[in-house]
Amino acid sequence: MLTRKQHELIRFIQARLEETGVSPSFEEMKEALDLRSKSGVHRLISALEERGFIRRLPNRARALEVLRQPDDVSAKVTAPKVAAPVAPQTRAPTIQPAPANDVIEIPLHGRIAAGVPIEALESTATLPVPAALLGPGEHYALEVSGDSMIEAGILDGDYALIRRTDSARDGEIVVALVRGEEATLKYLYRDAGQVRLDPANAAYDPQFYAPGEVLVQGKLAGLLRRYH
């Protein structure tokens, strides 16, 4: 079952695609659904994508494809809050969706160590992120502190974009909460009944913990870097 807002969003996307061949921007979807922020739009899109109703076309922030409609919605729909344009006399060629500069705000949860673990911080700050960098699911950002992941291209001062999850495969870069107090960004491995957190810098040694001492709080999904 879809929520009312999810129904409205998929109807709006389908109607815009039928009218123009271009999926609406995050700002247009926010206004059409009377949402307060673009992050609400992102959550709705992620939910529809996870349920197989829509998909994002690769490398295009604004390109969405409707895969199927809810059972109670016909293929021909009317977009909410948007007046229908005058129908053209001749069929226009399909317009390829163009990249857009849609940006969403995700939570920024303090600094995370890429050297030795530091206390995981929570805050009310947010970080603007291009929507194209985020896939399905819930995300948050952490500012990297330290240099132990430099061989993986993760530098001090980078913003790590994290997809929230409590599981990961060996060899993935994760946010690991150690002993319920400290967080670190490392490669995760299970090794002889222990959890091994590997750095990506030969100057640092792996860290070994009992399985109950480490909780996965997310996987690395992308990076943002600012040049000063």
Which residue numbers are catalytic? 148, 186
CB 170 within 8 A of CB 188: yes
Residue 130 region, left (φ>0) first, then alpha (ψ -120 to 50), else beta?
beta
Between CA 24 and CA 60 the distance in angstroms is: 12
Residue that the structure tokens 């943002």 belong to: 224
CB 103 within 8 A of CB 16: no
